[in-house]
Every structure is written in structure tokens, then in C-alpha cells.
Structure 1
Amino acid sequence: MILNQRQKDLLAWVKREGYVSVDRLAAQFQVTTQTIRRDITLLAEHRLLQRYHGGASVLSSVENVAYDARQVLMADEKRRIAQALAAEIPDNASLFINLGTTTEEVARALAQHRGLRVITNNFHIANLMCDYPDCEVLVAGGSLRKRDRGLTGEATVQFIRQFKVDYAIIGISSIEADGTLRDFDYREVQTSQAIMQQSRQVWLAADHSKFDRPAMVELGHLTQVDALFTDRLPSMPMQEVLAQAGTRLVVAG
């Protein structure tokens, strides 16, 4: 699914307001209410927002967007982020790469690197990178999730804690206004926390839709992140939070 600019802006407005009526959306975008209803129906079918009679609201904070929808949502933005991040990874580096569609794009962008040692709990990344020349891939054990082929659980955490690597490449579901990092699955959060603890540098890859998005489980804070790679300059308050946290900001492309 490829969203047009109106649909992207509509999503951003609903996320910011929490709930917006069809009439307000139609007036904002200067289109008919029928057009807005079609947009809302499309976005709701892909679990990007919640449709209500007369309007739309943000999704629940307890459930993420379906994995296949996330793979195509913000696809161009994720590719630009991935290319910017991969450009800063040197050859012969050791990496953790966690679950997420943005981190999968980073894995694709690393195809020309040499001498990488990659540890991942993401089967998609393992399948992709195992064919790269001169790239060693270690796959964590644990409980395999059907919905996204991710490995989580205590066995995954124990495996990760055996290593100390140069870079953690992590994705996230939510960056709150105060810099709190959140996700939806506490098992996934425990794995990401272990990855961050066992890395010399923590690099976060997150497109602009992750800012101020609701998610239930606290993962950490931007103070634990050395660099944030995103596709759009954040708001001035968020830039101040990043500066106070000591997190380097990289805006791709």
C-alpha cells in the first residue's frame, strides 16, 4: 500500500489530535466528506487508525499495526533512513539488529559492506544477510512469533548477553515528547533492552510517524541512544529533548 500525501497528512493529524471528525478533515484538506471517508476506510482496513461513525481516532496503545502493513508504510522514508545509517557503519563491525521493518531496510542497505558480524533475533534479517559475502550471521534462540518471524523471550535475552558489540541498530514503535521510548510487546522490549546494554553505540532508526505515537510498554529513554536516524526534522521541543539527552540527530536525505 502506498499512501498519497493527503492520507499521510491525515494520519499525522489524527495522531496529533487523538480524534478528528470527518467534517473537520474535509475542511482541512478541501475535499468532500466522501473522499475523507474513503481515506479513513482504507487506513482502517490496514490498521493504521480506528474508524468511528463521523470520524477517526488513533489506534489502541496495546496493539501495533499489522506487520505486512508496516512493511509498506513509509517505505521510501525507511529506505532513506537505512541508507543514511548504513553509510556510517564501517566494514569489519559487529552489530546487533533487532526486530522491525526499518531495521530490515538497514540490513538491505548493508549489502555492500564487508567483514560484518551480525547478531539478530529477526529471521527476515538473518535470511537476507546470510547471503552477503563475508558476513557472519548469528541468530538468537527463543520463542518464534508467527506474525513477524521475530525471536523473543528469556532464551533470546540470555543469548544476547553473551556478546558485546560495536553497534546496536534498533527500531522502535514510539518516541514520546519527553524522550521516553515505547513499544507494544514486553517480551520484545526485554530483548531490545538487552541489545542496548550489550552495545558500545546505540543507533535508533525511526521515521517521523513514531514521534508522539501511543504504545504501552516502556523500553527506555533517548539518553540511552547515541544517534537517532530519521527522515524529517523533529519539532523544536523534540530537538531540545534530543540535545538534552546528548543524542546525535541525523535527518536522512
Structure 2
Amino acid sequence: MSGTDRLQAILDLLRAEDSVETEELALRFAVTPQTIRRDMAALVERGLAIRTHGGARRMASTSTLAYEDRRLEHAREKEAIGKVVAGMIPNGSSIMLNIGSTTEQVAQALSDHHDLVVITNNINVVHILRMSQVGSLKIAGGSVRPSDGAIIGGDAVAFMDKHKADFAVIGCSSLDSDGSILDFDEREVAVARAILRNARKKILVADRSKFDVDASVRIGNLEEIDILVTDGLPPESFLQAAKSAQTQVLCANRAL
């Protein structure tokens, strides 16, 4: 079992049992107690657990847990997407990133770049890149959504409208077979729209699970996107919509 899978399994146990013991987990997963303690430290750092004597207990915040769950879901796929996108971004360019666990993987993959201007409404992106050599980090002002670190609202929209970037990289919650790009929060969507209208090259990042999610607030459609980077073959109707929109679809490191 990989470290990511083990973390997800520990989270599942915390949800079911509220608390876990280090020694019991070490036996369950056939690893050393030291390995489990490192896993516990990672969960505590992410705000998912509280350390106890001999183990950990679940955090009461379900909103934080939900976002951290999304980070762990399809983690390998999101990491692969991030690396593909980072390969498109040359040193010395400017990039806008919105909130999302996949855009955070793009930021992680950009950490070895230099002389970038990174513009974002995602507190987590700043945390990922603040000790790197990327260059300039600019973050929007406005209301912070505690559950995921998104900065949303009119001030964040106005901030994006003050800038122009070479690249926009946005994530979403849902993709419809007709090419619609969707999310749940109108305030978050308003920022994503501002990012798209202020970038020269527009990249959408979404793992294959987004085709199984229904959301009602439209960010836009494929006509507004130059490249979609995903991890699996989209539905045929979506591929036809992408073809009509002249949107390139990339699956990991190969074109579809």
C-alpha cells in the first residue's frame, strides 16, 4: 500500500471510529510505528487529526475534512496532471491559478521553475510556492473561505481584473458532456471567470471523476478553453464538443 493510500485508509478509520492507536495501525498496515507516526504528523499538519497519547483523534471540522478528502482522492492522477501542465509553462512567464486540489498540484510541479509571476486566490498555492524560486507571488484580497483557503468575493474579482497573465490554469467541480464547465459557488465561479478573461492561454485541469459530478453554476464552456488536461478518456460526446470548440485534450503525456 502506498503512503497516499494508507493516509486515506487512516482517514476512513478516523471517520468510523473517531480515534486510532499507533501500534494498532502499524500492525494493520504492516509498517513500523515510526511510519505511522509520520502519517499522523502529516494528518495533523493538514488539520485532519489531533495527536493524542499513543495515537490520534478526528478533527471535528467536517468542512476541512471534506477538502482534504478531495486532495487525497485521485492524488496520483492529479499529480500527473500537474506535471503535464508545468511542462507547458516556461520560466519567466506569468500564470494565474484558482482554488482547487488539482491546481495545487500544478503549483507543486512549478516549484522548480524560476522567474515566474504567480497570481492566485488560493492561499494553499502561496504556501506551496513561498519557499521556492518561482519569483513573484501575488495573492488576491477579500474574504477567505475557511474550508479550503479560497479568497472569494468582489475584491478578488477586481484583483484579477487588474492583471494580465500569459497562462490561466483553473480547476472545476464538474464537466458536462456538452462541454460545460461547472462549479457550486457563484463567488468562486466569478473569480474563475475573471482569471479566464485576463489570460492569453487558458488551461483547464480536471481528473476523470469530474464527469460524474453534477454542479449548477457555469464557469464557461470549452470555447473559452485552449487546453484541457485530464487523466482518462472523456465521454465521446465531450470529445466531440472539444473538437467543435477547437480545444486540445491531453491525457497525461499524450494527446487524444
Q: Structure 1: state its 5+ residue gaps.
A: 4-62
Match of 1:96 in 2: 96
Equivalent position of 1:60 in the other structure: none
Say if 1:2 and 1:73, in contact at 8 Å, map to a contact too.
no
Moved over 6 A (4+): none
Contact 1:115 1:134 in 2 (8 A): yes
Matched residue count: 193
Are 2:1 and 1:2 equivalent residues in the alignment? no
Which residue of structure 2 lines up, in the alignment, with residue 47 of structure 1?
Answer: none
The SS at the match of 1:211 is helix
2: CA distance, partners of 1:96 / 1:68: 22
Q: Distance in 1 between matches of 2:134 and 2:212?
A: 39
The one-letter code of the counterpart of 1:103 is T
Written as runs of structure 1 = structure 2, the 5 A alignment for 1:186-205 is 186-205=186-205
**2 CA distance for matches of 1:137 and 1:148?**
19
Q: For 1:68-83, what aligned pairs fall within 5 Å after superposition?
A: 68-83=68-83
> Which residue of structure 2 aligns with residue 106 of structure 1?
106
Relative to the length of structure 1, the TM-score reads 0.74
Separation of aligned partners in 2, 1:175 and 1:235: 10
- 8 Å CA contact 1:98–1:169 kept in 2: the answer is yes
3-state DSSP of counterpart to 1:70: helix
Query: 1:113-192 alignment to 2 at 5 Å?
Result: 113-192=113-192
Structure-2 residue corresponding to 1:249: 249
Q: Percent identity?
A: 38
Distance in structure 1 (CA, Å) of the matches to 2:119 and 2:172: 18
Higher relative contact order, chain-length normalized (CA < 8 Å, sep 6+): 1
The answer for unaligned runs of 5 or more in structure 2 is 7-62
Whole-angstrom CA distance in 2 between matches of 1:177 and 1:238: 5
Q: Cα RMSD over matched residues?
A: 1.6
What amino acid does structure 2 have at the position aligned with 1:187? R
Matched residue of 2:169: which SS? strand
What amino acid maps onto 2:250 in structure 1? Answer: V
TM-score by length of 2: 0.73
